[in-house]
Amino acid sequence: MGVLTVLVLFLYYGYSQATKTNNKEPVQAFVIPHSHMDVGWVYTIQESMHAYAANVYTSVTEELSRAKHRRFIAVEQEFFRLWWDTVATAAHKKQVRQLVKEGRLEFVIGGQVMHDEAVTDLDDEILQLTEGHGFLYETFGVRPQFSWQVDPFGASATTPVLFALAGFNAHLISRVDYDLKDAMQKNKELQFVWRGSSSLSERQQIFTHTMDQFSYCTPSHLPFSNSSGFYWNGVAVFPDPPKNGLYPNMSLPVDKETLPAYARTMVENIKRRAAWFQTNHVLWPWGCDKQFYNASVQFSNMDPLLDYINQNRNELGVSVQYATLSQYFQNVHQSDSTWGVRGSRDFLPYSTEPHQAWTGFYASRNVLKGVARQASSRLHAVETLFARYRVRFPDGPVAKDWALNRLRALRWAVSEVQHHDGITGTESPKVADMYLQHLVQAMMGVEEVLAALFLLPHRLGPPGLLPLRYRRKGAHHQTLEQHVIMYNPLAWNITTVINVTVTFPMATVFDDDGQPVPAQIQRSAESNATYDLFIVAELGGLQHRNYLIKFSRKGKRVTTYEARGVSFERRSVRGRSKTGKRLLPVLNRCYKLMFDQETNLLHSVTDRLEKRRVRMTQDFWEYKANGDVNAGPISDNYIFTANGSAVRAYGAVKMEIIPGKIVSEIRQYFYREEGDEDYAYSITTRVPECFGSRLLCHRLEQTYSLGPLRVNTEVALRTSTTLRTNRTLYTDDNGYQMMKRPYRKFTNNTLARNFFPMVRTAFIQDDLSRLVLLSDRAHGVSSQSNGHVEVMLHRRLWNNLPWNVGYNLTLNDSSVVRPTLWLMLGSISTTTRLYQREAIQLQHRPVVMPIDQPAEAWLEKEPRRASPMRPVVLPPNLHLLSLSVPGWNYSSNHDVHLRHVHSDKELRSEPDYDRVLLRIMHLFEEGEDPDLSKPVSINLKEVLRCIGEVRVLEERSLTGTWDVATLQRWKWKTADDMETENKRRRSGGDGAFNVTISPKEIRTFFVHFNSIRFNGPNTINIHTGFKYFQPWLRGKEELLLTVVNEDLGWRSPGFAVSRASSYSSTSSCNSSDVSPSSSSLSLASRTSSPLPGEPPGPRDHQDHQDPRDPQLHTHTKPQSQTGRGPGSEEHLLPASPSEREMAVPEVNCTLFLLAGYAKYGRPYAWIRSNHERLVNIGGTDSMVKDTPMKLKSITDWQTRGNEGVRVWDVVSELVCLCTVPSPSNPFALDMRYVKRLPLPERFLVTGALLHFLETYVVYGNQDELHYDKVVEEVKPLRRLHVQSLLELQRLQGSTRPGSRPTMHHSTGAESP
């Protein structure tokens, strides 16, 4: 955030009494240059990069290189990575590598952003940290060991645990309650050892430094300095930097006249800070928001100032030096002091003044918070699916680089929004729109990956779109069908209820074994034209299943239960003195809910298992906010300051109850005034039944609708119970652990200061029962009265504070929001066993993907078979936190990696697709449950067997950059002097895969699986659609190219590629992938023929019939290959790899083989069919059978290298040589064929073709006659691709912010 907590008004005289310290030794000040660069907030990332951020890294790099004593710390990786990838020159990069190696440029935190700590989820904090650390370690070989959390609005107790798990040695925070900080300064308690987890305790403790009242900025507004203090480069200007280099508020330069005053001010400030700390080491942060964009001006003024102070250190009692954060902490650590201990308590909420409680942002921008959580959930699902796919089908048709790039884009977007002015909702509207745009676009890309992973065949067999083993019959049939894939991204077997929105009044559902599935259908609350189809889905861990929905009209007998609603007339809340006499029950096996027909409100809930009844009501209440700063304290993006107690937000309630056999649904509509036509708020409660042993009935699923709100209104859901709670609340810290929140009274602002962040969970309880609330996004939550819990769901504010108005930070949010809560009521022991798993199941609901639209029945069906994915299941107290292919490429051996980084070789490396990142977390605290709180021992080789055979297991730090065997964190002396060794429970030898996970532990591993390779034809090729040729990639070094002979209106699927090319040799090259790169043209079989000089292995001589043409067969004549021994002369041309792959001369196409064998360092091409025809056309003997063709493009390759010639040049020459008449555009597309493809296949094919053509447009030779024609192909193809994507999206639901999805779990939320 860009606000100084305190504006320091210093005169250059005075403060002599206040600066006295108890230390006799001179004070040692560590001047740490830094720039606080918000990844968002007021300006978009693009605006900030242009206005100042890029200049920070450019000028700092240059200035550090000019003087050895200068230092700088870099914090947010997003800006640095953007600079590194798009701005930095080769010279800059070389300088940065040297500065990092010497420790003069230091990366702290190392995550993508400085994440918020109140409303961020554990998954996303780890993600953004891992993304930044992976880049830093791969690029520079460095691993950040210190944090710099100077601006988040309060400090969580989970963050220090995560930093300790990542290998950090010290943690730094700043924003804590103003009155608490005063006390900490007075008692010299700003530094302590923090044991953020009560279960991990001293095993993951970390030394923590709290910044004093001056925070992360240096003194400003000094009268003698032009009122700007130590900011000689002035204030950043938007949108464009001034051309003359003169910025507003540039401080007066340091010269003979100003030097003494600057020095006196700096020394007095250092001494004042020193009085608040135990040692004589003072951290003096030099910088603030948007500083050092002109590092030359900064350092040229500070250099003489530091020299002057050091020259007079004896007189002044202070020495100063430029330093990095590590240098400061090293000196503190070496002081051998004894430190106080802070247990598992956080610093939330946070207040800056008596009437400024920063609790409003817990609920600001509810839609953004929801979309961010949806994106995180979808990322987790596709990460797990892709990781499993890569292990099981490493040579499958889904291009690994294509998929990883889209996953990385979503990782970037989810990481970015965790910024402390991002997910908090404290940014300007245009920045909020930027976050949403990045999230939505990245989610769309990941949806493409999801479609490819589901829809493309994984292994062998004829081409087919759907993995459902159906084939459509042409005969007309009245029944319509739709196919849906459901995927469980959790490593638990689950039974759940999925809601599919359909347009037919009746449907029957079958699983992938052809068995009918329990289902219920009812009219949708959102539209009279749609219906909610509830499906009971049983899904194994990390397993997807295929479901068939058969639609029918009313009157047709089906097994699905048709639920019908009963409406209750609108009831006024005024004068309702008599209630509770006309109660209506809604029951399942766990609960009996009673609704009062006099009010249409919930009256009570009975826990049927414990036989305890709790009076309970739910409704909406409004807090009125003041918008005039002259009239009193205000509420804004950050701050919640209620203008009095809450008032009831409605005047009347209408209700509809839909009893069902799968779920019973209660719809309550709240009207502001009794006569209003439209409701203002709603609650939809779904009461699920139990199925078998699965107790779904434990949760009540509620979805709310709010908005647009009136201006200066903040709306909370109030749940009032008869529980005797003494106003004590429990809320989660980032989804990791629970915090007890006793109600506290303050002199001022008691109401607002008793709101707390709820990321996943909150509950109230008494001695007998507990009421648990689970959330799909962050909210503010409070218990203002005994037995009450309030959840702040939505805010809309405006005020006239000039600062807010100037930066557009007034939160005039007119959106409609649809958050979801799950409620549980039960005994403490019962809810303890359930709530953590339930919270995760709400977070990671099954992915539901329709793969076609309702269409005629598929009457001819091949035999069904079960899901190809066997379930992966963990014990109930362990959670699969991560399973992904991170892609970072570095050696697990740190010394080896450093040698690589510090070598002069080009460091750009291909992603590592074989390393899988695995994290497993124990969900329970020590002593929380008699059984589930015990350490759990598992054999990871057995657990992961359904994914693949584990070959190597390496235990790593949280972000993967440390081998835990070599990680030695600093030990800090504490008052209780507890042992800090963290002894891992893991056996060696034959039990090397056995792991014991203790309560609240998060264990991180790199897993390497044995390779699984499948020989045989792979008939999937998403680069179909070219008019004159079709490519098939075989292995890494060979490309089969089928080219049309005569342009007779040929269609691309008419090609019959030589099937002999798809049989493998036992001595084939062991390449690791087949996915297309920037120079490849297709996806095809992984197998390859023997390299020249290698004997061919045995082959399967069975003729293989092309399923698309029963008349075409492959001849596979056994014939030996010309051998080339080690002594062969280099100039001998390589013979064709294998004659047995020769194709039958076909009517209208010719087969070529292109190869780029590493052994020869150049490409070659051979004719594989219709040799005589080409000789006749060419009239030359240059095309000798089994001898490489003499092509101009290949000759140019030899003389110009691959910088000037690419694979498409060879393809273009072959097309022009073979096809008659020679086409004006060899890369012309057959759009008629492409448009006729089934929707999912059309989407994938158009995407692949578009990628190729756009690459050609960027890198192709613009002098080629066909270049402009290729450019013309791009626009209609892009239009068709986007159209296909939108059609796919419509099948899954609208992606507009605030709209209701057409397909979701039983409690849907708005989609972006």
Please identify every residue annotated as catalytic: 151
Q: Give the 3-state secondary structure percentages of the chain, helix then strand then coil, rounded to 5.
A: 25, 25, 50
Block residue for tokens 């057959």: 1230
Cβ atoms of 540 and 493 within 8 Å: the answer is yes
The residues facing 666 across adjacent strands are 657, 685
* Helix (H), strand (E) at residue 725: none
DSSP state of 1202: T
- Look at residue 1252 and give its three-state secondary structure: helix
Strands (E), 77-211: 105-107, 170-173, 191-194, 206-210
Strands 583-587, 591-596: pairing kind: antiparallel
349: preceding bond cis by omega (within 30 degrees): yes
Q: How far apart are CA 1307 and CA 704, in angstroms?
A: 10
All residues at 6 or more sequence positions from 429 whose CB lies less than 8 Å from its CB, including other chains: 808
User: Do residues 200 and 978 lie in contact, with contact meaning Cβ atoms separated by under 8 Å?
Assistant: no
- Secondary structure (3-state) at 282: strand
Cα separation, 903 vs 894, in Å, equals: 14
The answer to whether the beta carbons of residues 538 and 495 sit under 8 Å apart is yes
In angstroms, how far is CA 1040 from the centroid of its own chain?
38
Residue 162 phi/psi, 5-degree rounding, is -65, -40
- Name residues whose C-beta falls within 8 Å of residue 571's C-beta, 6 or more positions apart in sequence: 597, 598, 599, 600, 652, 653, 654
Q: Are 1220 and 1177 in contact (CB under 8 A)?
A: yes
Length of the chain: 1312
Q: How far is CA 1202 from CA 226, 1195, 1196, 1205, in A?
A: 59, 11, 9, 5
Separation of alpha carbons 134 and 380, rounded Å: 18
> Could you give the C-alpha distances from 738 to 663, 759, 762, 821, in angstroms and in order?
31, 11, 8, 18
The one-character DSSP state at 71 is -
Tokens in use for 1281?
A: 């691709």
Q: Coil, helix or strand for 683?
A: strand
**Of 786, 814, 819, 598, nearest in space to 716 by CA:** 819
Say if CB 175 and CB 154 are below 8 A apart.
Answer: yes
R_g (Cα) of the chain, nearest Å: 34
Residue for token digits 């070598």?
Answer: 903
Q: Which residues have C-beta within 8 Å of that of residue 1192, sequence separation ≥ 6?
A: 1213
Centroid of chain to Cα 316: 51
Distance CA 1138, CA 1120 (A): 8
Quote the CA–CA distance of 634 and 636 in Å, as a whole number: 7
Q: Which of 1246, 1269, 1244 is nearest to 1256 (CA)?
A: 1269
Residue 29 · residue 237 · CB < 8 Å: no
Distance between CA atoms of residues 143 and 788, nearest Å? 46
CB neighbourhood size of 603 (10 A): 20
d(Cα 717, Cα 728) in Å, to the nearest integer?
A: 18
